[in-house]
Amino acid sequence: MAMLYVLIPLAVVLLGVAIWAMLWAIRSGQFDDLDSQGWSVVLDDDQKPPPMEDDEGENSDGRSVSDSGDK
């Protein structure tokens, strides 16, 4: 029974901390825009992918490495 005198106030304090944290998150704008950051990763087309290296040793313009125009 004596343990209830400790656990009940501890539970009330933890509940108060949880409510304070939730109110802080709402007031600081943590829940304002939940979708745009997730979609920005999917729709990020600002950079082109690097050229793929072929097994035949060709440059990105289709010429082979030995035909680089040093003739």
Q: Tens of pLDDT along 31-63?
A: 888 777 777 777 766 666 677 776 555 555 556
Backbone angles phi, psi at 58, to 5 degrees: -100, 150
d(CA 32, CA 26): 8
| Exposure string over 35-54, b if 16+ CB within 10 A, otherwise e | eeeeeeeeeeeeeeeeeeee
What's the mean pLDDT in 17-35?
Answer: 91
d(CA 31, CA 71): 63
Name which residue leads in pLDDT, 40 or 71: 40
